[in-house]
Amino acid sequence: MRPALLGRIDREVDAHYHARNAFLGLRIMAFPMTQRPEGSRSEDTAVRSWLFIVAGLVFAMIVVGGATRLTDSGLSITEWLPILGAIPPLSDVDWQVAFEKYKAIPEYSIVNAGMSLSEFKYIYWWEWAHRFLGRFIGVAFAIPFLGFWIAGMLRPGFAWKCLGVFVLGGLQGFIGWYMVKSGLVDRVDVSQYRLAVHLLIAFAILGLLIWLALDLAPDTKSPRLQTVSLLHRRVPLVLVVLVFVQSGLGALVAGLKAGLTYNTWPLMDGKVIPSGLGTMSPWFLNVFENVTTVQFNHRVMAYAIGVLAIWHLLALACTADDERVVMSAALFTFVVLSQMALGIWMLLAHVPLWLGLVHQAGAAILVATCILHLYRMRRSATRA
């Protein structure tokens, strides 16, 4: 009786073992449709490359956006058609209809009265290219993202981060139209407030894409004898905040066309601190609407960022043995000083189109290098 009883127990244990393995096998087969195990990194290169490509497209979008502003093209398309708007005028009749819509807004009657159809086409194509590039970025993000997600190529939780960036991109499209709408009725240009929000969100999207791509890089850390201090680790975050504040100030300068005034350096109107900084009431309007104050603040913030960047670089070079954080700090400092030189050159040259575009591109590069340095510092070891 005993051998028979033991045999029955063995059969039951064996059946339970195989049933459990079959269940686990089904779970493993289903798992890749949602996310892959944390330990697997073979797909990271493809996802990281895709994010960098989209970041490059966003960079191009920022530059084209600067061109639409500098050529006064932003109000040439007076309606927002998210789908059909991708199709430009295809016939002479279509072009005439679009031109008549533009003639109905104040910018035409006050600024561009008598504009020819060929001149209108020039500004129309700039704005159309800007909007079309925005649509293309949406597609270039959404389709690969869905593919990576369905194939289980994304790290756990990474899909939600990408989805957040996609939602922010959709919001950016709406804010772009909200900005354009501000110049269609009572103004001959867009609101500088809405322009600043539009630009800052573009920079935020660029920064998030770069951060996510860097997060997928393989871990190549090597032991370090000395690590950065907590103070030095906090400075890059301060620099990121200052860079975004400076970008907002730059948008105010652009929206108010403040770069066409006080075309001297280093003095403004022959003075270190120009007259007229606080002429508006209430006082805080000077920060956002006073041409003199806006340009002065933009200059002072540039000096502050430059000084802090140089100090931070020298401090890291003297104390940190991790050459990667020193190199990223050096790269950021170089871009800061280059962007300052470009800004001065552009001001003295009365903002030519090509130099304005280079300065706009430099601002995007400044954001990218600042995010790179912040990422490297956040991933470095910290000593008390």
How does pLDDT run across 48-67, given as a tens digit for each residue? 999 999 999 999 999 999 99
User: What percentage of the chain carries pLDDT values higher than 90?
Assistant: 77
pLDDT of the residue at 170:
95
Tell me if the pTM is above 0.85.
yes
pLDDT of the residue at 255:
94
Is residue 127 exposed (0-12), middle (13-18) or buried (19+ Cβ within 10 Å)? buried
Does residue 3 register a pLDDT over 70? no
Question: 229-242: per-residue pLDDT in tens?
Answer: 788 889 999 999 99
pLDDT of the residue at 380:
73
Q: Which band of pLDDT confidence, cut at 50, 70 and 90, is reported for residue 227?
A: low
Does residue 17 register a pLDDT over 50? no
pLDDT of the residue at 5:
45
Backbone φ and ψ for 20, nearest 5 degrees, come out as -65, -45
Q: Which band of pLDDT confidence, cut at 50, 70 and 90, is reported for residue 256?
A: very high
Taking every pair of C-alpha atoms in the chain, what is the biggest distance, in angstroms?
111
Does residue 221 register a pLDDT over 70? no
Amino acid identity at 144:
P
- Closest by CA to 99, choosing from 79, 114, 121, is 121
pLDDT of the residue at 217:
85
Is residue 351 exposed (0-12), middle (13-18) or buried (19+ Cβ within 10 Å)? middle
C-alpha span between 142 and 140 (Å, rounded): 6
228 forms beta bridges with: 382
383 forms beta bridges with: 229
- 175 Cβ partners below 8 Å, 6+ apart? 194, 197, 198, 201
Backbone φ and ψ for 149, nearest 5 degrees, come out as -65, -50
The three-point CA angle 51-57-62 to 5° equals: 125
The residue ranges of every structural domain in the chain are: 42-217, 225-384
Where b means 16+ CB within 10 Å and e means fewer, 226-254 reads: ebbbeebbebbeebbebbbebbbbbbbbb
C-alpha span between 192 and 248 (Å, rounded): 10
Start-to-end C-alpha separation, the chain: 72
Residue 351's alpha-carbon distances to 50, 189, 197, 295, in angstroms, are: 35, 17, 22, 14
pLDDT of the residue at 33:
41
Q: What is the mean pLDDT of the chain?
A: 88
- Closest by CA to 197, choosing from 179, 209, 218, 213, is 179
Question: What secondary structure letter does DSSP report for 72?
Answer: T
pLDDT of the residue at 31:
38
Question: 305-355: per-residue pLDDT in tens?
Answer: 999 999 999 999 888 777 888 999 999 999 999 999 999 999 999 999 999
Q: Out of 218-227, 258-267, 371-380, pick the least confident.
A: 218-227
Is residue 257 exposed (0-12), middle (13-18) or buried (19+ Cβ within 10 Å)? middle
Question: 82-128: per-residue pLDDT in tens?
Answer: 888 999 999 999 999 999 999 999 999 999 999 999 999 999 999 99
User: What percentage of the chain carries pLDDT values higher than 70?
Assistant: 86
pLDDT of the residue at 231:
83
pLDDT of the residue at 243:
98
pLDDT of the residue at 39:
42
pLDDT of the residue at 32:
42
* Collapsed DSSP state (helix, strand, coil) of residue 262: coil
Is residue 138 exposed (0-12), middle (13-18) or buried (19+ Cβ within 10 Å)? middle
Between 16 and 284, the more confident residue is 284
**What is the pLDDT averaged over residues 255-263?**
94
C-alpha span between 211 and 10 (Å, rounded): 55
Strands (E), the chain: 228-229, 382-383
Question: 32-50: per-residue pLDDT in tens?
Answer: 444 455 445 778 899 999 9
Cα-Cα-Cα-Cα dihedral sign, residues 283, 285, 290, 292: positive
CB of 207 closer than 8 Å to CB of 270: no
C-alpha span between 155 and 45 (Å, rounded): 12
C-alpha span between 339 and 358 (Å, rounded): 9
C-alpha span between 238 and 199 (Å, rounded): 20
